């Protein structure tokens, strides 16, 4: 049974017939409870569920990172859901049941700050991933004090190592220490930037894949 808390013109919580009411982030909402689906396994539904699962597996290990990387796009949704939406629409390739993430089209941070230039990734010391970039401060709104947003993602392990307040753009490089069992396996590397005051974020750039020493 639904409950009206602010008079007949206010929002309500609970269920009235097939209408469900509630509040999210202080916003009253109503939605229609979907009817029973006679065939929940149509090809379109299977495709969507498979894509959703693929993106979820990619993003879940970096949930905390996304709270910074997608904070400018958390409008009436969480940062994680914003990242899910973007990558579902832009980063999936292939056909059911073999969907994959196209890392070159994926974003782990998003915004209008000028991104990285000349970025590269290497691993020459055991358990260490070395990321480097050029100082393109002065290009648009890029500044030497912008801090790097770094992600190293191991798809096989389902694990990510990241830094939301890394070295400055002018510093040109930073090492990330990864778990010892990453050695011999490949990881995917991404770099973005965030302004010193935290108000601007850059679209991340996929640097590439590297085998961890």
| Element counts in the chain: helices (H) and strands (E) | 3, 13
Cβ atoms of 190 and 150 closer than 8 Å: yes
Q: What tens digit of pLDDT does each residue of 21-70 get? A: 666 666 665 566 655 555 567 888 888 999 999 999 999 999 999 999 99
- Flag the least confident range among 36-45, 93-102, 161-170: 36-45
Architecture of domain 43-211: Sandwich (2.60)
CA distance 126 to 179: 10
**Res. 199: pLDDT tops 70:** yes
pLDDT at residue number 46: 86
**Res. 13: pLDDT tops 70:** no
**Domain spans of the chain?**
3-32, 43-211
């Amino acid at each position: 049974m639904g409950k009206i808390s602010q008079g007949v013109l206010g929002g309500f919580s609970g269920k009235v017939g097939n209408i469900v009411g509630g509040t999210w982030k202080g916003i009253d909402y109503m939605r229609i409870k979907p009817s029973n689906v006679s065939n929940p396994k149509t090809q379109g539904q299977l495709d969507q569920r498979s894509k959703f699962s693929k993106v979820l597996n990619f993003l879940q290990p970096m949930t905390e990172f996304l709270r910074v990387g997608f904070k400018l796009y958390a409008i009436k949704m969480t940062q994680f859901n914003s990242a899910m939406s973007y990558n579902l629409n832009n980063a999936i390739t292939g056909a059911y049941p073999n969907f994959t993430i196209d890392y070159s089209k994926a974003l782990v941070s998003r915004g209008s700050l000028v991104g990285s230039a000349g970025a590269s990734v290497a691993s020459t010391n055991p358990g260490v991933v070395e990321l480097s970039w050029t100082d393109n401060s002065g290009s648009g709104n890029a500044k030497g004090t912008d801090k790097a947003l770094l992600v190293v993602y191991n798809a096989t392990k389902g694990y990510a190592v990241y830094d939301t307040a890394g070295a400055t753009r002018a510093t040109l490089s930073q090492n990330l220490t990864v778990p010892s069992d990453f050695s011999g396996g490949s990881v995917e590397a991404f770099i973005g930037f965030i302004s010193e005051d935290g108000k601007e974020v850059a679209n991340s750039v996929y640097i590439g894949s590297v085998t961890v020493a």
